[in-house]
Amino acid sequence: MTRTSLKTAIEAADHPILLENKAQLAAAEKSWKGNKVLGIDTEFVRERTYRARLGLVQVSAGETAWLVDPVRLSDLAPLRGMLTDPSITKVLHSSSEDLEVLWHTLDAVPAPMIDTQLACALLGKPLQLAYHAAIADLFDIEVDKEQTRSNWCKRPLTSRQLHYAAMDVVLLPAVVDELRPRLEQVGRWAWLQEDVGRMQRAAQEPVRPENAWRRIRGAARLDDTELRVLRALAAWREGTAMERDLARGFVIPDIVLLNLARARPDKESPAPELEGLHPKAWQRHGSTLVRLIRDAADDDTPLSRPEPLTGRQRTQLDQMKKRVRERARELDVEPALLASRRELERLLRAAAEGRDLPERFQGWRRAAIGDELLSIIR
């Protein structure tokens, strides 16, 4: 990528094209079809709502920056069509949240696509390398970060917001031009495609309220009865949050669910005195919560609580972590790109129980490290 091309991209961010009506979007759609690669980014707000609310979608081929306004546009079919057009490769950076909001707003995820944060990680950069840091590293260009926490659903958007949003996308095609030859040279372009596919599938996974308790910190310290109660309460909260489009914590905070599971109040009145429990929350949900607690405490459905690792398994886990660190040094990548501690533990349990290998250890990781890890277990 020449300096002239970079300058053109930066100038495009100074004059983004805001798409607020059907005619503007249709004209942009025609321009998009003439490109093989388009940078994509989103801006959204997620404070009190269960789902992120899409505030802006940025699109750029490098010479032009289009800003699609989903607040003003009722029909986003042209945008959906571009995102799923197999002839256009979409480029995003740190895309997991973008994929989630696009899937739930448009019922589509970008495909085919590239995630440049993941591409950088496969070339030895930090696994969580931010976009502005990647741009500074590759092109010695400083990208403004001041508008990160803007309210992207409030209208009108300011000129600073529009410039910030455009700068987040205009250089993405240049990043791919820079990274793809490097990845192909070291034989890791297929690795990138494999991991991107995993990200796309994860974004489309349906929410399972029955598993909501697993994300609550402290659940592992509960006894079986308490955990059954927490499981029921967390599933109810998940469904309520989805139905009311309200953030989980604004329905009932995690700490209250844990305290209710431990205390197990058996009547609605008086309200239990528990840390974090707001009187209005109990007034609204108390009768439901008492019923759920009572039913769950009497439930004898088997729990899917993992057994603690044996002494031998803990030794194997230490050996696996050591080998992952060694292999990461050989590949010049961060160990977490190969496997986290939690992922190693899942592999250990899967092998012990005769289950299929976790998806993480199939594909390129199987050849890079998976078979060696299995030899430690066996």
Q: Give the pLDDT mean for 254-265.
A: 95
Q: What 8-state DSSP symbol labels residue 370?
A: I
SS3 257: helix
For the chain, the average pLDDT equals 94
- In what side-by-side order are the strands of the sheet with 37-45? 17-19, 65-68, 53-60, 37-45, 89-92, 113-115
Query: What are the pLDDT digits (tens) for 273-320?
Result: 888 888 899 999 999 999 999 999 998 888 877 788 999 999 999 999
Q: From start to end of 84-203, where are the E strands? A: 89-92, 113-115
Over residues 131-157, the mean pLDDT reads 90
Is it true that domain 3-203 has CATH number 3.30.420.10?
A: yes
- Rounded distance between C-alpha atoms, residue 253 and residue 234, angstroms: 10
- pLDDT class for 63, splitting at 50, 70, 90? very high
Give the class (CATH, top level) of 209-297: mainly alpha
Mean pLDDT computed over 77-99:
98
β-bridge mates for residue 54, sequence order: 44
Q: What confidence score (pLDDT) does residue 147 get?
A: 66
pLDDT of residue 301: 81
Does the pLDDT at position 1 exceed 60?
no
* 72-101 average pLDDT score: 98
Burial 229-249 (b: 16+ CB within 10 A, else e): bbbbbbbbbbebbeeeeeebe
Mutual angle of helices 279-297 and 224-244, in 10-degree steps: 130
Confidence label for 239 from pLDDT (cuts 50, 70 and 90):
very high
Mean pLDDT of 133-158: 90
328 confidence band (pLDDT: 50, 70, 90): very high
Residues of the chain above pLDDT 90, percent: 86
Give the pair of three-digit tokens for residue 52.
């992120």
Which structure tokens are listed for 314?
Answer: 């803990």
pLDDT, position 306: 78
In angstroms, the CA 254 to CA 274 distance is 12
Instruction: Check pLDDT > 80 for residue 4.
Output: no
What's the CA gap between 281 and 267, in Å, rounded? 15
How far apart CA 191 and CA 187 sit, in angstroms, is 8
Per-residue pLDDT tens over the stretch 28-55: 999 999 999 999 999 999 989 999 999 9
Where exactly does CATH 3.30.420.10 map onto the chain?
Answer: 3-203
Q: Which residues contact 301 (CB under 8 A, 6 or more apart)?
A: 228
- What stretch(es) of the chain map to CATH 1.10.150.80? 209-297, 311-377
pLDDT at 146 (0 to 100) = 72
Do residues 52 and 101 touch, judged by C-beta distance below 8 A? yes
At residue 2 the predicted structure's pLDDT band, cuts being 50, 70 and 90, is low
Closest CA to 57 of 31, 19, 93: 19
Residue 321 pLDDT > 80: yes
More confident residue, 148 or 210: 210
Query: Tokens representing 354?
Result: 């005769």
pLDDT the model gives residue 104: 96
Query: Quick one: pLDDT band at residue 266, thresholds 50, 70, 90?
Result: confident
Secondary structure letter of residue 369 according to DSSP? I
Q: At 57, phi and psi to the nearest 5?
A: -125, 120
Radius of gyration from C-alpha coordinates of the chain: 24
Q: What percent of the chain has pLDDT over 70?
A: 98
Q: Which two tokens stand for residue 268?
A: 């609605």
Nearest to 99 by CA among 216, 199, 217: 199
pLDDT category, 261, cuts 50, 70, 90? Answer: very high
Tell me if 347 sits within 8 A of 361, measured CB to CB: yes
Contact between residue 317 and residue 344 where contact means Cβ atoms under 8 Å apart: yes
By C-alpha distance, which of 285, 261, 289 is closest to 275? 261
Angle at 150 between CA 147 and CA 156, to 5 degrees: 110
Q: How far apart are CA 95 and CA 201, in angstroms?
A: 12
Please give the CATH topology (third level) of the domain spanning 311-377: DNA polymerase; domain 1 (1.10.150)
pTM of the full predicted structure? Answer: 0.92
Which of 103, 98, 142, 100 has its CA nearest to residue 117? 98
Residue-level pLDDT at 5: 86
Q: pLDDT at residue 164 above 90?
A: yes
Work out the average pLDDT over 50-61: 97
352 sits in which H/E element? helix 341-352
